[in-house]
């Protein structure tokens, strides 16, 4: 039976979705973050999760647990955000590189707009209205409405995000999921057995401030390990490997092709797949030093600092949403053996 229930998990207000072998916890007051996704049959935890986590713990480090959505993501040099109809000066909150980092949306308390379950799936829709009531508005006065729809079924967990521009100004669009995958993701497995496959094209060169130099480079053997599925994403330091997304991964067993990332546990042969829609044009791989029990394959719709670069939007992925118009992206997680 499929279920969608409001629960309190360690003082975290959540909607628990249950369908088939999957269970998901959506912490709507923590930026609509999916703080847990589990395949109970195959004993797989997709996302970094701890049974002892509280609202306070997650709020203090919202970027590195579960499946947070970042808007405005990554780094804006010197806090400057250049849009076609204006320039905004965002607070510099990353002193090491003198940048604004990761925006605000993942730190806001969203509301449940709708939830339910039927014979096919369980779902929840959340929303947040960004306007002059938000403390960030003094830096970025462009109002919008954002909706998250999570659907859990035998096909896994699907997420749809929809932005609507409520202002009279252009809404800059650059979006990122700071997806924290658990390591190891199979109960009782070894971290050294994890391999990931990422369909990448060119490497985006970054400078010492972790900002693009605007050079797209060919791949060397280190990079090709992502393509061939030979990269262990933990037990070594991976610090912001940034690439263009290119192509798909062919899956075994009649599962088709995947536009996204696949992680495999070599010991058991169990795999998890992370599929993204075409709006996500880049990947950053990061693992916080490599020894903290998680790794982050981060899909991005645009390059770091994209609005401020001299490269054309066709290259950077940056776009703007006109007043009254909408923008939508999709992601999905599923497992197979």
Residue 337's pLDDT is 87
Residue 309's pLDDT is 97
Specify whether the CB–CB gap between 202 and 216 falls below 8 A.
yes
Per the rule left: phi > 0, alpha: psi between -120 and 50, beta: everything else, 315 is: alpha
- Residue spans of the domains in the chain: they are 3-336
Q: 3-336 is classed in which CATH architecture?
A: Distorted Sandwich (2.70)
Label residue 253 by pLDDT band (50, 70, 90): confident
Which residues, 6 or more positions from 166, have their beta carbon under 8 angstroms from its beta carbon?
Answer: 129, 131, 143, 144, 145, 323
> Which has the closest alpha carbon to 225: 236, 216, 214?
236
Is pLDDT of 273 > 90? yes
Give whole-number Cα distances, 146 to 100, 141, 166, in Å: 21, 15, 10
Residue 206's pLDDT is 98
Average pLDDT score over residue span 89-110: 96
Residue 302's pLDDT is 98
Residue 254's pLDDT is 77
Is pLDDT of 110 > 80? yes
pLDDT, tens digit (0-9, with 9 covering 90-100), for 192-229: 999 999 999 999 999 999 999 999 999 999 999 999 99
pLDDT, tens digit (0-9, with 9 covering 90-100), for 137-164: 999 999 999 999 999 999 999 999 999 9
Residue 36's pLDDT is 98
Which residues, 6 or more positions from 56, have their beta carbon under 8 angstroms from its beta carbon?
Answer: 11
Return d(Cα 262, Cα 199) in angstroms, integer. Answer: 9
Is pLDDT of 252 > 90? no
pLDDT, tens digit (0-9, with 9 covering 90-100), for 284-293: 999 999 999 9
Residue 255's pLDDT is 78
Supply the mean pLDDT for the chain.
Answer: 97
Specify whether the CB–CB gap between 173 and 281 falls below 8 A.
no
Residue 288's pLDDT is 97
Specify whether the CB–CB gap between 37 and 333 falls below 8 A.
yes
pLDDT, tens digit (0-9, with 9 covering 90-100), for 161-177: 999 999 999 999 999 99
């Amino acid at each position: 039976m499929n279920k969608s229930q409001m629960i309190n998990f360690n003082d975290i207000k959540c909607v628990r979705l249950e369908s088939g072998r999957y269970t998901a916890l959506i912490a709507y007051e923590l930026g609509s973050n999916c703080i847990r996704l589990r395949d109970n049959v195959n004993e797989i935890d997709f996302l970094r999760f701890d049974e002892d986590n509280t609202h306070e713990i997650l709020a203090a480090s919202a970027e590195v647990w579960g499946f947070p959505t970042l808007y405005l993501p990554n780094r804006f040099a010197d806090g400057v955000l250049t849009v076609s109809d204006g320039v905004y000066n965002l607070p510099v909150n990353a002193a090491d590189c003198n940048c604004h980092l990761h925006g605000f949306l993942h730190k806001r308390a969203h509301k449940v707009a709708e939830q339910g379950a039927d014979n096919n799936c369980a779902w929840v829709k959340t929303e947040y209205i960004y306007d002059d009531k938000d403390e960030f508005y003094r830096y970025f006065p462009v109002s919008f409405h954002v909706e998250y729809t999570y659907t859990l079924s035998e096909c896994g967990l699907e997420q749809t995000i929809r932005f609507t521009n409520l202002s009279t100004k252009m809404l800059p669009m650059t979006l990122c999921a700071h997806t924290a995958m658990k390591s190891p993701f199979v109960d009782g497995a070894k971290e050294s057995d994890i391999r990931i496959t990422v369909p990448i094209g060119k490497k985006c060169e970054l400078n010492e401030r972790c900002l693009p130099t605007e050079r797209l480079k060919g791949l060397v053997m280190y990079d090709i390990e992502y393509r061939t599925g030979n990269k262990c994403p933990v037990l070594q330091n991976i610090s912001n490997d940034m690439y263009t997304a290119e192509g798909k991964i062919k899956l075994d067993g009649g599962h088709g092709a995947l536009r996204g990332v696949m992680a495999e546990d070599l010991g058991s042969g169990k795999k998890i797949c992370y599929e993204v829609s075409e709006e996500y044009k880049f990947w950053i791989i990061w693992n916080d030093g490599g020894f903290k029990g998680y790794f982050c394959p981060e899909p991005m719709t645009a390059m770091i600092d994209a609005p401020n670069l001299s490269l054309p939007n066709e290259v950077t992925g940056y776009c703007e949403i006109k007043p009254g118009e909408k923008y939508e992206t999709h992601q999905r997680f599923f497992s197979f053996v």
